[in-house]
Amino acid sequence: MKVEDFKASVAAAEPPGGLPLTVRALWWDAKGDWARAHGLVDELETLDGMAVHAYLHRKEGADGNANYWYERAGRSFHRPALEEEWQALAEALLAGDRGA
């Protein structure tokens, strides 16, 4: 799925079927349901899951918690705007790129 199609799918009531948890979390975040998004990655012990988890805590304003998850994901914060970080995560995860 292309990121443009993914973004457009947010108009629906539910995310498209077959998406990985990390991508579904970004979908719910874009839909405005931070808690549901967080619930999908809260205990997901993958690098991708931890990267999305970090983004969500950054969005929440919990910088210390976000930094913890960025470290666990093996990365440092590198996007100046939340929208840019969401876009980069979505593009990489939809493409199957492990460097999301």
pLDDT, tens digit, for every residue of 44-99? 999 999 999 999 999 999 999 999 999 999 987 767 799 999 999 999 999 985 54
- State how far the Cα of 94 lies from the Cα of 100, in Å rounded to an integer: 9
pLDDT, tens digit, for every residue of 15-50? 999 999 999 999 999 999 999 999 999 999 999 999
- Helix 21-30 crosses helix 34-41 at what angle (to 10 degrees)? 170
Torsion of CA 43, 52, 62, 83, to 10 degrees: -160
The pTM for the full model equals: 0.92
Q: Which residue has the higher pLDDT, 23 or 100?
A: 23
Q: Are 38 and 53 in contact (CB under 8 A)?
A: yes
pLDDT of residue 97: 55
Residue type at 10 in one-letter notation: V
Contacts of 32 (CB under 8 A, 6+ apart): none
**Domains in the chain and their CATH numbers?**
20-76 (1.25.40)
